[in-house]
Amino acid sequence: MQTNIINGKEIANQLLTTAAEKMAAAGKPVGLAVVIVGENAASQVYVRNKVNACAKTGISSTRYDLPETLSEAELLAQIHALNADDSVHGILVQLPLPKHIDAEKVLETIAVEKDVDGFHTTHMGRLVADLPSLRPCTPAGCMLLLQSTGVNLAGANAVVVGRSHIVGKPMAIMLINAGATVTVCNSKTKDLAAVCRNADVLVAAVGRANFITKDMIKPGAIVIDVGINRLEDGSITGDVDFAGAQGIAGAITPVPGGVGPMTIAMLVHNTLSAADIVLT
């Protein structure tokens, strides 16, 4: 079987081009505040990519690089100030935060209408209820990648490996809302390989290099690899054995160039939505 490579970079670039056109047509400034606490190397890269995408689209982003030693109260005060700033339409606090800061409390402090990550419990609740909201960027991007393959999700068996607040849980809800039969697994699931082999759509979001091996993939399945793992030689790889999946999967996202660019495109999309610029 020929395995199609899902070109996330190209799809994301199309979304960014549309976003730039809509921004220009709206003719008003849009501001995004990006808050990063500490020196986490991966976070630095993600934030740089997000800020660059905003610049290409015409969104003015402001980076707040705050020290690792920042107290929770100081971070909350910064967020309150951004909530009150009318030039800021979107606020993003890059995760993970240092351990002494309660991430849930921080995310709940972001004004709901400015929470372009869609992590606030109001957005999560509205997602569960299938009501309009700002959707978490990575799973929303994965849904667009699935759509690009033409797969009919109604009645499809979808397996999500990973149950994080950022990806696994909202991904599962989006698939449920699309009519799929959804199983949510984690690294301790019994006979994970057998569960995965039942998947018409397999989403891997565990954060472990090559965790999904070829024996776990149903012939013809669509595989979405959310993992971004840095190997010792400095290269980046996903959660799926990409080479092993060739000839088995019907379609697969590469890493890099699959889900990653879509997360950024969806952030731009959400920021424009937060500024009342409608993209679709």
| Residues forming the active site | 50, 94, 117
Tell me the closest approach of the beta carbon of residue 47 to ligand GUN, in angstroms. Answer: 9
Tell me the closest approach of the beta carbon of residue 198 to ligand GUN, in angstroms. Answer: 28
Rounded to an integer, what distance in angstroms lies between the CA atom of residue 119 and that of residue 93? 10
The residue among 88 and 92 lying less far from ligand GUN, judged by its C-beta, is 92
Tell me the closest approach of the beta carbon of residue 93 to ligand GUN, in angstroms. Answer: 6
User: Could you tell me whether strands 157-161 and 236-237 are parallel, antiparallel, or unpaired per DSSP bridges?
Assistant: unpaired
- Which H, E and C letters describe 214-229, residue by residue? HHHCCCCCEEEECCCE
The residue among 238 and 250 lying less far from ligand GUN, judged by its C-beta, is 238
Rounded to an integer, what distance in angstroms lies between the CA atom of residue 163 and that of residue 248? 25
Nearest CA-CA partner of 214 in 194, 183, 251, 243: 243
Distances (CA, A) of 202 to 184, 205, 216: 10, 10, 9
Rounded to an integer, what distance in angstroms lies between the CA atom of residue 154 and that of residue 159? 14
Rounded to an integer, what distance in angstroms lies between the CA atom of residue 237 and that of residue 211? 11
Tell me the closest approach of the beta carbon of residue 53 to ligand GUN, in angstroms. Answer: 13
The residue among 207 and 254 lying less far from ligand GUN, judged by its C-beta, is 207
Amino acid making up residue 177: N
Give the residues lining the site for ligand GUN (CB under 6 A).
92-95, 117, 137-138, 166, 263
